[in-house]
Structure 1
Amino acid sequence: MMKIRCAIIDDEFPARSLLKDYISKFPHLELSGTFKSPLDALPVLQGGKVDLVFLDIQMPEISGMDFLKAFHLKNIMVVITSAYPQYALEGYELDVIDYLLKPFSFERFVQSVQKAGERMQNRGSSSGNGENASSSPACIVVKADHKSYRVDTSRILFVEGLREYVAFHCIDQKLVSLDSLKNLLEVLPSDSFMRVHKSFIVNRNQVKALYGNQLQMHYTSKTVPIGQLYREEVRKKLFNL
């Protein structure tokens, strides 16, 4: 089992101690550091020494949410740990993999660890299998329904974000997998796929027509909305408008 390097960011000592104890129970989890503030942790996070962060929200210098918005933590998975449930939706919109509501049990912590393991496995499968991670894979591995599917990227019509899950709408099937649009943008061929909405990525080669603020796709009657921030780029790159 591959190692997952973890960091804890929480201004409260009891919370850091609890997470440290939970992490120590897993041989494949490696603690890279505990920090009272996100800014203290930044050098370690940007140094590529962390795979998974357990991040509190309410902290004196900068909140966990503001930290996620201000700093791009590339290839780092984030689990929010908070006593405030009202931030859950915003957290998932920032591509966190889980939201642990304090006080949380060890069993609930285990679920977060399993999600992190599945995410790392999926990344490895998608960028591996004889392909260079920087190349454009003809196929990606999608884990859904307790199976691993080899999916030809050319047969993907669009991908829809569903909080911590994504739905692959393909020519002949629909697959729901634990992943994020942010991660998929790094895996899918950049010359074929583009984000057109905060919740949608489309295969440019499967776009049939532009209708108002929606895209009509081949092989399906479903349309894909275009977000306001993406309209100009979509019109320019897809239709030369």
Structure 2
Amino acid sequence: MQKVPFLELAGSAETATDALFLIRKLKPDIVFLDIEMPEMTGFELLKLLPASRPAMIMITADPSYALEGYEHELTDYLLKPVSFERFLKAVNKVDNTDFPKSFPVISELPREIVPISKEPQEQILDTEFSGARNDFLLLKENKKLIKVAPAEIHFIEGMRDYLKLYWSDRVAVIHMTMAKIEEALPAAQFLRVNRSYIVNKKVIREIEGNEITTNSGRKIPIGVTYRANVLAALHKNRI
């Protein structure tokens, strides 16, 4: 770990069973855990750890696991290949004033760390403009490029450094912040209704109290600080 002298590599494991043994034996501060391992998945291994587990940073090549990772309250979620810059960002999220002296790396993390890239890490790769309006967004999901018109997006759910986009009959998970996607979407068409949701006005079926119901029946809460803006944006259509 020459690039991070404040960390010490205490051990590594190729299987989930070995990883579980090392975690219990070494009691590390941070664990980098691959999702796809022999014997069991990283998520299955998490269920075997006590509540007072180390800081867990999950690693995978498949962004579709992001939502499940978020539900497990992970410290961070890294997509392969992992840049050194992104690796450091994950480590810095660990809230520990007596910073880690050691941590086990599970599976193949060392071979996945690559030099810092000058390419942007965000997954919206291109937009086509027509006047002041975005005609489409070109999204990168895993190894696929997906072309989607903003009008087709129903709503967007934020999950830390990831977003879950719902449109038509599908869902995509991309690596991007809420602020970045909000900049790319036409402001006249989309509403930020709380810290974690952006909603397309056309899919709002009703508002009751501080809750939006979409045409599909999805319930989305309106944040206290966002309520006035949401109501003002919809007021001109009121009869």
TM-score, normalised via structure 1 length: 0.51
Larger Rg: 2
Determine which of 133, 155, 158 is the counterpart of 1:158.
Answer: 155
**Consecutive aligned runs of 4 or more in structure 1 exceeding 2 Å deviation:** 77-87, 101-114, 116-120
Q: Is the 8 A contact 1:83 1:102 kept in 2?
A: no
Q: Is the 8 A contact 2:129 2:135 kept in 1?
A: no
Q: Unaligned regions of 5+ residues in structure 2, if any? A: 5-85
Deviations 1:164-209 (A, max 9, x none): 1100011221111111111101111111112110000111222221
> Identity of paired residues, percent?
22
CA-based RMSD of the aligned residues comes to 3.7
- Matched with 2:187 is 190
Bigger RCO (CA 8 Å, 6+ sep): 2
Cα offset, 1:236, TM superposition = 1.7
Cα offset, 1:109, TM superposition = 8.3
Q: 2: CA distance between counterparts of 1:176 and 1:207?
A: 22
- 1:233 lines up with 2:229 in the alignment: yes
- Matched with 1:110 is 113
Deviations 1:100-129 (A, max 9, x none): x88788839837957x84634x34x233xx
Deviations 1:55-101 (A, max 9, x none): xxxxxxxxxxxxxxxxxxxxxx99365384369xxxxxxxxxxxxx8
The 5 A counterparts of 1:1-241 are: 18=3, 79=89, 82=92, 84-85=94-95, 107=110, 110=113, 113=116, 117=119, 119-120=121-122, 122-123=123-124, 125-127=125-127, 130-131=128-129, 135-218=132-215, 220-239=216-235
Q: Is the 8 A contact 1:126 1:187 kept in 2?
A: no
User: Structure 1 residues 109 and 168, CA, compared in 2 at 3 Å: closer, same or farther?
Assistant: same
User: Structure 1 residues 145 and 109, CA, compared in 2 at 3 Å: closer, same or farther?
Assistant: closer
Cα offset, 1:146, TM superposition = 2.5
User: Structure 1 residues 148 and 238, CA, compared in 2 at 3 Å: closer, same or farther?
Assistant: same
Aligned length: 149
Cα offset, 1:162, TM superposition = 1.0
Q: 1: CA distance between counterparts of 2:102 and 2:133?
A: 43
Q: 1: CA distance between counterparts of 2:119 and 2:102?
A: 23
- Matched with 2:10 is none
- Which structure shows the higher helix fraction? 1
SS in 1 for 2:188: coil
Q: Unaligned regions of 5+ residues in structure 1, if any? A: 1-16, 20-76, 88-100
User: Structure 1 residues 139 and 228, CA, compared in 2 at 3 Å: closer, same or farther?
Assistant: same
